Amino acid sequence: MIAFSLLALPVSEVAERAALACVPWVGRGAEKRADAAAVEAMRAALNALPMKGRVVIGEGERDEAPMLYIGEEVGTGAGPAVDIALDPLEGTTLTAQARAGALTVLALAPRGALLHAPDVYMEKLAVGPAAAGASLDLGAPVEDTLRAVAGAVGRPVEDLMVCVLDRERHAGLMADIRAAGARLQLIQDGDVAAVIACARGEVDVYMGTGGAPEGVLAAAALRCTGGAMRGRLVFRNEDERARAARAGVTDLARVYTETDMASGDEIIFAATGVTDGPLVRRGQTLLLTLSGGTPAGRVLTPAWSS
């Protein structure tokens, strides 16, 4: 049987093939067609891998998505049993409008290692390796959190850069960050890339609510880089609570760490640029791995991306 670690390069090729399938749709204003192209290409590539794969975070529940739905089995069936979290196209609008930062993303871990997060919101707080030892409390005032991070990295709060999705729901959070004296970077989409930016030292903190599935993908990336994260599911109605129950969530108020969301010491994460962005250029793949507890990362550049 192939070792889990030997799937790393093939997984990077899965992300690359999905991105390549999206290229004809960049700037075409066709979000659904771009997403469908990514899904079809990613599914075909996953089915060629020597593994017993199970999608735990995908395009939706079985009755909502024809391909890469939650619970779908992929791979040849010969190889390690793995769970897969994926977003075939993070940034459908970015792709349709030819804007920066669209990605194809997936993460693999041995069976049972990835949180089966429902498709609801998640309150998130993430930092890079330098601040991983700081006190990270989702219930703490923003000012206290920023002071803790500043103390961990040995810099004043005024020097910190905090990244937040530019949404109306974050108006109070933005005001609190500015009142604390920190700098604020607003992004339109792509909170997986924003969390990874913490690990790369490009921003100091990521805060705010975004998709829970993206939270698990970000946690997998942070496990491969040494960063830290806290996440708590946010429910707007009873339908979302029922969705969480179907996903196996029993404690609706639980605060998850990055290790709760992506556990164990074997993880593969890959993200390929559909458009140029701060994380990778178009066609480049960021490949992150955790093997035997040892993190590693590299950027792969195919000929077609030049």
- 3-state SS, the chain, equals CCCHHHHHHHHHHHHHHHHHHHHHHCCCCCHHHHHHHHHHHHHHHHHCCCCEEEEEECCCCCCCCCCCCCCCEECCCCCCEEEEEEEEEECHHHHHCCCCCCEEEEEEEECCCECCCCCCEEEEEEECHHHCCCCCCCCCCHHHHHHHHHHHHCCCHHHCEEEEECCHHHHHHHHHHHHHCCEEEEECCCHHHHHHHHHCCCCCEEEEEEEHHHHHHHHHHHHCCCCEEEEEEECCCHHHHHHHHHCCCCCCCCEEEHHHHECCCEEEEEEEECCCCCCCCECCEEEEEEECCEEEEEEECCHHHC
Task: Write down the pLDDT at residue 66.
Answer: 76
Residues 197 and 231 reside in one and the same domain: yes
Q: Rounded to an integer, what distance in angstroms lies between the CA atom of residue 67 and that of residue 89?
A: 14
Task: Write down the pLDDT at residue 190.
Answer: 86
Number of domains in the chain: 2
Residues 75 and 142 reside in one and the same domain: no
With the CA atoms of 254, 256, 71 and 195 taken in that order, what torsion angle do they form, in degrees rounded to the nearest 10? 140
Task: Write down the pLDDT at residue 204.
Answer: 98
Report the CATH number that the domain containing residue 292 is assigned in CATH: 3.30.540.10
Residues 138 and 237 reside in one and the same domain: yes
Task: Write down the pLDDT at residue 306.
Answer: 64
The half-sphere exposure of 168 on its side-chain side, counting CA atoms within 13 A, is 0
Residues 154 and 268 reside in one and the same domain: no
Residues 55 and 13 reside in one and the same domain: yes
Report the CATH number that the domain containing residue 153 is assigned in CATH: 3.40.190.90
Residue 116: inside a domain: no
Q: Rounded to an integer, what distance in angstroms lies between the CA atom of residue 279 and that of residue 261?
A: 22
Residues 256 and 269 reside in one and the same domain: no
- Residue range 107-158, pLDDT digits in tens: 999 999 999 999 999 999 999 999 999 999 999 999 999 999 999 999 999 9
Q: Is 298 exposed, middle or buried (0-12, 13-18, 19+ CB in 10 A)?
A: exposed
Residue 155: inside a domain: yes
Residue 18: inside a domain: yes
CA angle 294, 208, 26 (to 5 degrees): 80
Q: Which of 237, 190, 211 is nearest to 89 (CA)?
A: 190
Q: Which of 58, 91, 92 is nearest to 74 (CA)?
A: 58
Residues 106 and 125 reside in one and the same domain: no
Q: Rounded to an integer, what distance in angstroms lies between the CA atom of residue 71 and that of residue 58?
A: 9
Cβ(231)–Cβ(256) below 8 Å: yes
Q: Which residues of the chain have pLDDT under 50?
A: none
The half-sphere exposure of 12 on its side-chain side, counting CA atoms within 13 A, is 17
Residues 166 and 188 reside in one and the same domain: yes
Residue 180: inside a domain: yes
Residues 138 and 194 reside in one and the same domain: yes
Beta strand 294-300 pairing with 161-165 = unpaired
Residue 291: inside a domain: yes
Residues 101 and 126 reside in one and the same domain: no
Token pair in block for residue 276: 């140029």
Residue 151: inside a domain: yes
Domain around 146 = 121-261
Residue 200: inside a domain: yes
Residues 23 and 98 reside in one and the same domain: yes
Residues 159 and 247 reside in one and the same domain: yes
Task: Write down the pLDDT at residue 303.
Answer: 74
Q: Rounded to an integer, what distance in angstroms lies between the CA atom of residue 218 and that of residue 302?
A: 24
